[in-house]
């Protein structure tokens, strides 16, 4: 059976077991009969130099006295050993206890130091102006001093120019309602018609429409939805027709369509898609028939077909491919019948055959070949 003694560890356990064994021997010797004591000391009797005759002459009373003396000797020896063990245990326990006491003293000193530090921090926090919440938090969590300076500057600005919600009636009867800072519209705001309907809603900066915003007609229909810059349509935006259909969507620069964009016909079908400049088609682009098929694709300049381009019939067949100038066929080019077969291959000027060229019949056979002038074959 295993015995677990929680308060005896290390060398204390060994000393404790020696103590237990010795105590058991003493207890056993005290309880043995007198005859067993005599038997347990045979060597002491045999080592005695007295003759066997003298040994036999020992009386019973003397034998008992001798046994008692031997018992006393053993008990004295055990008592000495036990005292020595107790003293060793006491010395060891005292040394360990002293070390533990020193460790506890160090821990107590550290706790006292931390407590004093917390007291000083608490005193510093109480001295802060808690009404200045941002600065107080900055100092509390230990933000860098440079950030603290920035926060102080922001607070001074906020005190001088707080953001308000204002409703102002303008001289023309329109009404502004929204965020107001530095004596100007700044942030989100709306302008109302005198009738009370919204004219503009969106973002403002320094009293001008900047950012995302919408404009409405007097009857409440959307007119423009997109980006603004300094009170002008600038960036991505859509313009709607009076029927609510999209009229144009794409890029704007200073209230003009510039960049990539699409315009739509009144039936909602796309009319043109491509590049724009100063509100006109300029660059690479496509124009469409009302049925949605491509009418022209190629280069544009100032709203007119210029340089290389192709025109198509409504059925999708090619009508002309070649050079253009000011929206007319001008330069080398080929024209085609509506069924897609070639009709003329040669030079053009102002939409007329002019210069060397060949004309073909509908069956593909060559009809004329020669010089042309103002659309007429020269003889």
> Is 60 exceeded by the pLDDT of residue 202?
yes
User: Rounded to 5 degrees, what are φ and ψ at 36?
Assistant: -65, -35
Tokens at 78, concatenated = 């055990």
> Is 50 exceeded by the pLDDT of residue 339?
yes
340 and 193 in a common domain: yes
Rounded-to-integer distance, Cα 168 and Cα 176, Å: 5
Q: Give the pLDDT of residue 12.
A: 46
173 and 144 in a common domain: no
Highest mean pLDDT among 118-127, 142-151, 360-369: 360-369
Q: Give the pLDDT of residue 350.
A: 94
> Is 70 exceeded by the pLDDT of residue 46?
no
Rounded-to-integer distance, Cα 219 and Cα 217, Å: 5
Flag whether 326 is in a domain.
yes
Q: What's the pLDDT tens digit per position in 282-303?
A: 999 999 999 999 999 999 999 9
Per DSSP bridges, beta strands 352-360 and 342-349 are: antiparallel
The answer to whether the pTM exceeds 0.75 is: no
> Is 60 exceeded by the pLDDT of residue 149?
no
Q: Give the pLDDT of residue 345.
A: 96
- Kindly indicate the confidence band of residue 160, based on its pLDDT and cuts at 50, 70 and 90: low
121 and 22 in a common domain: yes
Flag whether 5 is in a domain.
no
Q: Give the pLDDT of residue 171.
A: 85
341 and 192 in a common domain: yes
- The CATH number covering residue 276 comes to 2.20.110.10
User: Locate tokens 């469409």: which residue?
Assistant: 288
∠ CA 150-154-160, rounded to 5°? 145
Q: Average pLDDT, stretch 251-264? A: 97
Q: Average pLDDT, stretch 329-353? A: 95
What's the chain's average pLDDT?
Answer: 75
Rounded-to-integer distance, Cα 128 and Cα 273, Å: 63
The count of structural domains within the chain is 3
Q: Give the pLDDT of residue 275.
A: 97
Rounded-to-integer distance, Cα 83 and Cα 94, Å: 16
Q: Average pLDDT, stretch 204-216? A: 95
252 and 149 in a common domain: no
Range with the poorest average pLDDT among 90-99, 164-173, 252-261: 90-99
> Is 70 exceeded by the pLDDT of residue 117?
no
Share of the chain above pLDDT 70, in %: 59
Flag whether 345 is in a domain.
yes
- Kindly indicate the confidence band of residue 97, based on its pLDDT and cuts at 50, 70 and 90: low
The domain containing residue 223 runs over which residues? 164-377
155 and 251 in a common domain: no
Range with the poorest average pLDDT among 21-35, 59-73, 75-89, 166-180: 21-35
The residue ranking higher by pLDDT, 145 or 305, is: 305
147 and 73 in a common domain: no
Flag whether 1 is in a domain.
no
> Is 70 exceeded by the pLDDT of residue 32?
no
- Kindly indicate the confidence band of residue 111, based on its pLDDT and cuts at 50, 70 and 90: low
Using N-to-C axis directions, what is the helix angle for 133-140 and 145-160, rounded to 10°? 170
Flag whether 6 is in a domain.
no
Domain boundary among 141, 160, 179: 160
């Amino acid at each position: 059976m295993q015995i677990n003694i929680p308060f005896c560890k290390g060398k204390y356990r060994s000393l404790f077991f020696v103590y237990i064994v010795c105590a058991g021997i003493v207890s056993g010797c005290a309880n043995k009969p007198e005859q067993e004591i005599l038997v347990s000391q045979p060597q002491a009797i045999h080592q005695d130099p007295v003759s066997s005759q003298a040994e036999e002459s020992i009386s019973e009373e003397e034998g008992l006295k001798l046994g008692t003396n031997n018992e006393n000797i053993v008990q004295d020896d055990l008592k000495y050993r036990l005292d020595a063990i107790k003293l060793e245990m006491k010395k060891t326990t005292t040394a360990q206890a002293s070390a533990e006491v020193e460790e506890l003293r160090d821990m107590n000193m550290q706790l006292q130091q931390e407590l004093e530090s917390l007291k000083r921090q608490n005193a510093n926090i109480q001295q802060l102006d808690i009404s200045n919440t941002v600065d107080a938090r900055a100092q509390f969590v230990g933000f860098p001093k440079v950030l603290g300076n920035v926060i102080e500057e922001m607070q001074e600005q906020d005190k001088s120019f707080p953001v308000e919600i204002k409703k102002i009636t303008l001289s023309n009867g329109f009404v502004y309602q929204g965020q107001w800072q530095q004596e100007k519209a700044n942030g989100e705001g709306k302008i109302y018609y005198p009738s009370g309907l919204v004219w503009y809603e969106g973002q403002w900066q320094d009293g001008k429409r900047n950012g995302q915003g919408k404009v409405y007609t007097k009857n409440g229909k959307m007119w423009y939805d997109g980006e603004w810059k300094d009170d002008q349509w600038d960036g991505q935006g859509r313009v709607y027709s009076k029927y609510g259909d999209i009229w144009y969507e794409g890029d704007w620069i200073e209230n003009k369509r510039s960049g990539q964009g699409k315009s739509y016909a009144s039936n909602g079908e796309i009319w043109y898609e491509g590049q724009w400049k100063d509100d006109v088609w300029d660059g690479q682009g496509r124009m469409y028939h009302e049925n949605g098929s491509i009418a022209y694709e190629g280069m544009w300049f100032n709203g007119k077909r210029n340089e290389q381009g192709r025109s198509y019939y409504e059925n999708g067949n090619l009508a002309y491919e070649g050079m253009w100038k000011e929206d007319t066929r001008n330069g080398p080019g080929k024209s085609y019948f509506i069924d897609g077969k070639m009709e003329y291959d040669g030079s053009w000027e102002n939409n007329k055959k002019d210069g060397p060229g060949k004309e073909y019949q509908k069956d593909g056979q060559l009809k004329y070949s020669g010089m042309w002038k103002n659309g007429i074959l020269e003889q």
